[in-house]
Structure 1
Amino acid sequence: MQTGTAFIETPRKILVVIFDGALLLNVAGPIEAFSLANRELDARRGGSGGHARYQTILASPAGGPIRTSSDIELNTLSLPDPVSGSFDTIALVGGMGMRAMSENRQLIDWLRAAAPRARRIASFGSAAFMMARAGLLNGKRCSAHWRIADNLRNQFPLVEVETEALFVRDGHVLTAAGSIASIDLALNMIEEDHGKALALMVARVLVMPRMRPGDQPQLSAELRAQTAATPRVATAAEWIVTNIDRRPTVASLADRFAMSERNFSRVFTKEMGMSPQRFIESARLEAARRWLAGSSLPIDSIARRSGYSSGEHFAQSFKKTLGTTPGDYRREAHQRAGEPH
């Protein structure tokens, strides 16, 4: 039985390792999420601070001021001894200087020695290069920003690079695509440590539209459509997204935009980086995810609204792509949102 002074739990120390050129959002976003979690934990304990709060520590190889990608300077401590240092989480932050850092032998040796002693190790953005160089991603799945994925895959063939994921957990190794996805991963860590309710509260304070699971695509079909350079392709892509319930086909799209099917496929693929058929499938899947997470409509109805020919076809395609059933995906999405199901 507790007597005397209040019980104080050991804080969860998070060592955030940054370098010159680090992307500021990769630093500030997760740290702010952990800070907000601390405030909520304190409020729950009447301001006593008795819960296992987060203690974030900024460090760099030499310590001192670090100039980020936004030309903002952050003060850092030097990296602690990898053996005697005690950290719950080591988080590596990517940015413009990552190529040089990933080839720094002294830093890689430190990482190899420190990683096994942490409960988890995470990378935000291009810091995945450093983890890969240290051998921490060999044989593991890894999320990588779409701009660096090919380079990472080519340099480290033992790493299973995933571009269609915001973040990936593989054992105690966590990787995020970076930028806003770094906040998504931080929320996921908070949920792991303190439960869904706290993570949801932090997401609300940050005005996040929702807590996104790691398997969400980095680039939505709608965003791809908006960023197409050729007006005709942009219009075609936008039409697919907004009319997915009409079950567009490559043939019908080519006819609508007065092009031969072969030429339409060639121009669309060159502009969008994927075939029109693959884009249609992506738009269907995104629409289905939105309906599953945000409605209580029957599965067959969602299938039709998302452009699938039948509920059975929808279920098969969904399971093949995501490895789960529409019903299970819905239950998990509603649980994450704290809704009844």
Structure 2
Amino acid sequence: MKSVAIVLFPDVLLLDVAGPSEVFSIANRYLAPADRYQLTTIGTQAEPIRASNGITLHAETTLEGASGPYDVLLVPGGPGAYNDQHPRLVAWLQAAAQRSRRFGSICTGAFILGHAGLLDGQRVTTHWHYTERLEKAFPLAEVETDQIFIRDGKLVTSGGVTAGIDLALSMVADDHGKQLALDVAKVLLVVMQRQGDQAQFSPLLGGVAKDETPVTRVQHYVLDHLEEEFSVERMASLAAMSPRHFARVFVREVGMTPMEFVQCARIDRARYLLESNALPLKTVAYRSGFGSARHMRSLFSDKLGLTPAQYRRQFG
């Protein structure tokens, strides 16, 4: 049997625990007894553990009683993962992860792995809302913002919440073949491999800073006039700067080039229109400043891994 251990701590996100657990549990229905997954939960305390939604969980064992090694060792996310320190869990993970065949995190569980030094020098991901925070907290990690899940050696990390199901399905496929993973996905009514990546869920632009600067004035103008043509030269003139100086200041303040900002703003506007109404794609493209549905389709596919039509079917 393959052993799967999931760590529990106060304020854990229940779906991060239940999603992968159900994948492995349903896979067991199709497997011979000797090939099945043996699931166990490991608590940071002997007392009942309250999840972030208020439901109380009872771990099968504690850190002190966990035997290991495990074929799969997973750390779920939740407010308790990124807001609290877990010195005992971190110390335990440093040794337990090395003994396990595969280890990793679901959603913001990556923060706990980071405190254990297990992300340093690794390609990792987490929920799109927390990738910047993860980058700042663990600068030695190579944080990727758009992947549903990432494998780097024996380390596996995944995006937010339901991405843990994707991660577990991929492990089942590795262990027992793609057909079994497909059978499990059908039972759960999920797709085996999602179209696109985390970018399809997250806004490509952060909020425009409230401070009144030449750059923010240009940003607000662009957002209010997306149907107009923009170039670095035109935006620089709006800011009363030379194009070269404007471009340098823009990148420093915004973290992307002026034309990247325009492109992302147009994609976000198109996404809103696709989600909120049934306008023809040509109209969506015009109102978002793309000029043509073909141009919009090309940029959507490049940035989100989905066409506008596919995005509407998924989120509209």
Same fold (TM over 0.5): yes
Q: Determine which of 200, 203, 219 is the counterpart of 1:220.
A: 200
1:33 aligns with 2:23: yes
| Amino acid aligned to 2:101 | R
2:113 partner letter = M
Name the structure 1 match of 2:69: 86
Work out the CA distance in 2 between the residues paired with 1:51 and 1:281.
Answer: 50
Once the two structures are TM-superposed, the CA of residue 18 in structure 1 deviates from its matched residue by 1.3
1:168/1:175 contact within 8 Å kept: yes
2:142 counterpart of 1:154: no
Take 1:204 and 1:179, find their aligned partners in 2: how far apart are those partners? Answer: 19
Q: What corresponds to 2:158 in structure 1?
A: 176
Which string of whole-angstrom CA distances, capped at 9 and with x for unpartnered residues, describes residues 77-110 of structure 1?
3335599523111110111112465x33222111
2:297 to 299, 306, 317: 306
Name the counterpart of 1:115.
97
Q: 1:84 to 1:179 in 2, by over 3 A?
A: closer
Q: Go from structure 1 to structure 2 and tell me whether the alpha carbon gap of 1:282 and 1:40 turns closer, same or farther (over 3 Å shift).
A: farther
Partner SS state of residue 58, structure 1: strand
After superposition, give the CA deviation of every residue in 1:280-333 in whole Å (9 maximum; x if it has no partner): 67999xxxxxxxxxxxxxxxxxx889337xxxxx9xx96xx89xxx9xxxxxxx
Correspondent of 1:255 among 228, 240, 244: 228
Give the root-mean-square deviation of aligned CA atoms. 3.8
Structure 2 gap segments, 5+ residues each: 208-222, 239-249, 255-259, 271-293, 306-316
Matches of 2:176 and 2:191 in 1, distance apart? 21
- State the partner residue of 1:75: 58
Instruction: Summarize deviations over 1:189-210 as a string: whole Å, max 9, x none.
Output: 1111111001111111111144
Distance 1:80 1:69 in 2: 21
Is 1:187 the counterpart of 2:169 in the alignment?
yes
Aligned letter for 1:142? V
Q: Go from structure 1 to structure 2 and tell me whether the alpha carbon gap of 1:196 and 1:182 turns closer, same or farther (over 3 Å shift).
A: same
| Cα pair distance change 1:131/1:203, threshold 3 Å | same
Residue identity in the other structure for 1:217 = D
Residues 150 and 36 (structure 1 numbering): CA distance in 2 closer, same or farther, change over 3 Å? same
Change (3 A) 1:23 1:83: closer
Q: Which residue of 2 aligns with 1:296?
A: none
The CA distance in 2 between the partners of 1:117 and 1:107, in whole Å, is 15
41, 59, 79: which one aligns with 1:96: 79
Tell me which residue corresponds to 1:276: 262
How far apart are 1:22 and its partner, in Å? 0.7
Alignment correspondent of 1:336: none
Aligned to 2:215: none
Partner of 1:21: 11
Paired position in structure 2 for 1:200? 182
Map Cα deviations across residues 235-272 of structure 1 (whole Å, 9 max, x no partner): xxxxxxxxxxxxxxx9x94239xxxx858xx9xx9xxx
- TM-score normalised over the length of structure 2: 0.66
Equivalent residues of 2:103, 2:156 under 8 A apart: yes
- Dislocated runs of 4+, deviation >4 Å: 80-84, 279-284
| Alpha-carbon distance in 1 for matches of 2:67, 2:162 | 33
- Once the two structures are superposed, the pairs formed by residues 36-47 of structure 1 within 5 Å of their partners are 36-41=26-31
1: CA distance between counterparts of 2:41 and 2:121? Answer: 29
Q: Secondary structure at the match of 1:147?
A: helix
**TM-fit CA distance, 1:30:** 0.7
User: What is the CA distance between 1:61 and its match in structure 2?
Assistant: 1.4
Structure 2: which amino acid aligns with 1:52?
A: D
Return the alpha-carbon distance in structure 1 between the equivalents of residues 118 and 157 of structure 2: 11
| 2:257 match | none
**Residue 38 (structure 1) shift:** 0.6
Structure 2: how far apart are the matches of 1:113 and 1:144? 22
Residue pair 1:64, 1:78 contacting (<8 A) in 2 also = no
Distance in 2 between residues matched to 1:307 and 1:178, nearest whole Å = 27
TM-score, normalised by the number of residues in structure 1: 0.62
The 3 A distance-change label for structure 1 pair 129 and 307 is closer
Give the 3 Å change call, closer, same or farther, for CA 24–83 of structure 1 in structure 2.
Answer: closer
